[in-house]
């Protein structure tokens, strides 16, 4: 922070609500010229809300944003916001069919007189900042890294004094990350302020001078990084007191189960699922050679950051999307790529990540949605299904999940989010699969329902011997797991085999850090040898 004059960007007491959720609670933030400030926080801490307020896309319910001491422009007056602060979003805002020059001046073309001038000014910006992308190139033909530079150039073309980088390295290779950091240093050396948002703590340590930590919508820590250790940062992000509170309010019963289960019976050696060298180019997170096994009655957790490929691995194994290479075998039999119907019949149940898009048919009833996977079994030899039979088949499953509805015929669209999620889980359980692939099965569900859903998954493994692959970035889901595999950038980075799992250790591993050496993750690329982080 500069002591002389007002800060370049200053946020004071900013509040934002969405319905009953308080996304931001009185957040303060200051950013000075030539500074790189890191902003970290777990998923749902309020980072995205903060970004949209700072980008002039959302209006705070209370509080103020000031640029160099003056009140910020009206929300929605994007052109004037951009003169102060420009955001490079996680998702590219580049028009692929236009040239680099046109994209750099997109939305600002009125001020440019001719094509020649457009290109000349683009070249000028590129050379001023040491970028090397031809102004005439079609953006469609550029790499992700080059597109990001175009976006940064666009910010600089408007004379923005502050650049907001939202998860800029999510889609970048390691070398590209290093080059990006050089550019960020150029920017700050040139007097531009940078707000750097990232899940990767090691990046924050490398590039930022100061860090602010958001937790549950509150700014819990602001300090120069020189005074902080990695553990301080993690403690601030996680909030250890709060973890204990959450555990005691309903998560306790599933948390105790893995140990009980070990005493009752050890997981059989027979592998239900074996995955060899799985690769995928999915936009949601690529996989580069993942191998894992799930044994009968075993619950294996897969966790990592959003972009690490956690959902992708679940979706490819369940056949919901195609894999590029590798083998998926269920009880030794090869499961074809991208064929959800065959995978379901083979015995792979699938609880999708987003219930609204894949979990249920909104206007059909609870019973019909629940029995959708077992229509073959319920129909007579002419293929006819009696509604009564359907309701009878659904009743025990929905009852076990304490699903609340006005009756088996109530359309699922009328249910609450938690009950909709129960329908999605019930649908999977109905088929009695040999393997359940569950992706973030408790997302957006209250604490009590969460415990119930996890309990039901644990019960399926315990009593019926089904294998469960639980893919979740929600660490509290992992309490039911016998093993947890941590993915970093699409590769197995660490494996934890001894429940209960240490929350902090898990978080450290998901950030791609191992041991106490911060640089380790960067110097040695993560390889397939597990357990290196299980200190």
The closest of 38, 55, 64 to 93, measured between CA atoms, is 55
Q: Count of residues binding another protein (CB under 8 A)?
A: 37
Residue choice 102, 368, 477, 511 for contact with another protein (CB under 8 A):
368
Residue 495 engages another protein in binding (rule: CB under 8 A): no
Residue 203: how many CB atoms within 10 A of its CB? 23
Q: Please check whether residue 126 is in contact with residue 135, taking contact to mean a CB–CB distance below 8 angstroms.
A: yes
For residue 132, the surrounding DSSP H or E stretch is none
Interface pick for another protein out of 227, 363, 463, 523 (rule CB under 8 A): 363
Compute CA distances 161 → 190, 255, 276, 458, 480, whole Å.
Answer: 10, 49, 49, 53, 48
Structure tokens at 369: 């949605």
Angle at CA 534, nearest 5°, toward 290 and 266?
A: 75
320 binds another protein per the rule CB under 8 A: yes
Cβ atoms within 10 Å of 159's Cβ, excluding its own: 10
* Residue from the set 190, 336, 362, 525 that interacts with another protein by CB under 8 A: 362
Q: Which of 111, 113, 383, 523 binds another protein (CB under 8 A)?
A: 383
- Smallest gap from Cβ 390 to another protein, in A, equals 9
Q: Is the CB of 7 or the CB of 403 nearer to another protein?
A: 403
- Whichever of 9 and 348 has its CB closer to another protein, that residue is 348
Site string for another protein, 329-358 (x = CB under 8 A): -----------xx-xxx----x-x----xx
Of 46 and 467, CB closest to another protein: 467
Helix spans in 129-251 (H): 144-157, 174-189, 201-207, 230-238, 240-248
One of 30, 257, 373, 514 touching another protein (CB under 8 A): 373
The closest alpha carbon to 54, from 107, 95, 16, belongs to 16
Identified binder of another protein from the candidate list 172, 221, 310, 372, rule CB under 8 A: 372
Burial of 392 (0-12, 13-18, 19+ CB in 10 A): middle
| Residue of 168, 239, 309, 359 interacting with another protein (CB under 8 A) | 359
Write down the least CB distance from residue 456 to another protein, Å. Answer: 18
Pick one of 93, 109, 375, 447: the residue that binds another protein (CB under 8 A): 375
Candidates 41, 365, 499, 512; binder of another protein (CB under 8 A) is: 365
Min. distance of Cβ 429 from another protein in angstroms? 12
91 vs 386, which CB is nearer to another protein?
386
- For residue 261, give the nearest of 310, 296, 304 by alpha carbon: 296
Q: Which helix (H) or strand (E) holds 479?
A: none
Residues 254/479, Cβ–Cβ less than 8 Å:
yes
Taking the C-alpha atoms of residue 300 and residue 322, their distance in angstroms, rounded to an integer, is: 22
Q: Can you tell me the distance from the alpha carbon of 178 to that of 430, in angstroms, rounded to the nearest whole number?
A: 49
Please, which residue, 148 or 424, has the CB nearer to another protein?
Answer: 424
235 binds another protein (CB under 8 A): no
Binding test (CB under 8 A) with another protein, winner from 117, 376, 519, 527: 376
Tell me the closest approach of the beta carbon of residue 399 to another protein, in angstroms. Answer: 20
Work out which of 76, 190, 388, 515 binds another protein, going by CB under 8 A.
Answer: 388
Return d(Cα 370, Cα 383) in angstroms, integer: 18
Binding mask 13-42 for another protein (x = CB under 8 A): ------------------------------
- For the residues of 396-421, what is the DSSP string, one character each? HHHHHTT---S-TTSBGGGS-HHHHH
CB 37, min distance to another protein, A: 40
List strands edge to edge, sheet with 9-18: 21-31, 9-18, 62-67, 70-71
Return the residue of 176, 243, 284, 385 that touches another protein, per CB under 8 A. Answer: 385
> Which is closer to another protein, CB of 55 or CB of 370?
370
Residue 533 in contact with residue 524, Cβ under 8 Å? Answer: no
CA separation for the pair 271, 296 (Å, rounded): 6
Site pattern 404..443 for another protein (x: CB under 8 A): -----x-x---------------x---x------------
CB nearer to another protein: pick between 130 and 383: 383
To another protein, the closest distance from the beta carbon of 353 in angstroms equals: 10
Contacting range for another protein; rule: CB under 8 A; set: 4-12, 96-104, 371-379, 475-483: 371-379
User: At 130, phi and psi to the nearest 5?
Assistant: 75, 25
Q: Site residues (CB under 8 A) for another protein? A: 318, 320, 340-341, 343-345, 350, 352, 357-365, 368, 372-373, 375-376, 378-380, 382-388, 409, 411, 427, 431
């Amino acid at each position: 922070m500069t002591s002389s004059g007002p800060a370049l960007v200053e946020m004071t007491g900013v509040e934002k609500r969405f319905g009953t959720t308080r996304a931001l609670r009185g957040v303060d933030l200051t950013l000075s010229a030539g500074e790189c400030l890191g902003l970290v926080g777990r998923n749902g801490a309020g980072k995205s809300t903060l970004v949209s307020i700072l980008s002039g896309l959302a209006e705070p319910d209370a509080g103020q944003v000031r640029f160099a001491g003056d009140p910020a422009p009206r929300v929605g007056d994007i052109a004037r916001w951009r003169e102060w602060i420009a955001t490079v979003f996680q998702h590219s805002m580049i028009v692929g069919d236009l040239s680099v020059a046109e994209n750099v001046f997109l939305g600002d073309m009125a001020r440019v007189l001719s094509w020649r001038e457009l290109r000349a000014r683009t070249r000028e910006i590129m050379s001023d900042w040491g970028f090397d992308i031809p102004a005439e190139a079609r953006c469609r033909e550029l790499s992700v890294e080059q597109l990001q530079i175009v976006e940064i150039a666009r910010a600089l073309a408007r004379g923005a004094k502050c650049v907001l980088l939202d998860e800029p390295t999510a889609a970048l290779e390691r070398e590209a990350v290093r080059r990006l950091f050089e550019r960020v240093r150029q920017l700050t050396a040139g007097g531009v302020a940078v707000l750097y948002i990232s899940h990767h703590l090691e990046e924050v340590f490398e590039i930022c001078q100061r860090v602010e930590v958001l937790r549950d919508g509150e700014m819990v820590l602001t300090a120069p990084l020189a005074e902080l250790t990695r553990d301080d940062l993690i403690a601030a992000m996680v909030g250890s007191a709060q973890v204990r509170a959450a555990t005691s309010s309903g998560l306790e019963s599933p948390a105790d189960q893995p140990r009980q289960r070990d005493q009752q019976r050890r997981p059989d050696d027979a592998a239900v699922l074996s995955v060899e060298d799985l690769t995928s180019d999915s936009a949601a997170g690529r996989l580069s050679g993942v191998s894992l096994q799930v044994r009968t009655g075993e619950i294996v957790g897969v966790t990592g950051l959003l972009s690490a490929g956690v959902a992708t691995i679940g979706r490819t194994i369940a056949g919901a999307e195609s894999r590029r290479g590798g083998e998926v075998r269920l009880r030794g039999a090869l499961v074809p790529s991208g064929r959800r119907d065959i995978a379901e019949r083979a015995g792979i149940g699938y609880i999708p990540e987003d219930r609204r898009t894949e979990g249920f048919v909104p206007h059909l009833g609870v019973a019909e949605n629940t029995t959708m996977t077992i229509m073959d079994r319920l129909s007579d030899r002419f293929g006819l299904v009696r509604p009564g039979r359907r309701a009878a088949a659904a009743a025990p499953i929905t009852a076990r999940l304490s699903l609340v509805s006005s009756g088996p015929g109530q359309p699922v669209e009328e249910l609450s989010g938690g009950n909709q999620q129960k329908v999605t889980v019930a649908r999977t359980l109905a088929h009695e699969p040999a393997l359940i692939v569950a992706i973030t099965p408790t997302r957006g569900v209250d604490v009590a329902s969460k415990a119930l859903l996890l309990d039901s998954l644990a019960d399926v493994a315990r009593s019926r011997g089904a294998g469960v692959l639980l893919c979740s970035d929600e660490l509290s889901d992992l309490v039911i797991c016998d093993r947890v595999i941590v993915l970093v950038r699409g590769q197995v980075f660490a494996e934890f085999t001894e429940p209960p799992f240490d929350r902090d250790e898990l978080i450290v591993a998901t950030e791609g850090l191992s041991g106490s050496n911060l640089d380790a993750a960067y110097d040695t690329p993560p390889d397939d040898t597990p357990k290196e982080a299980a200190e």
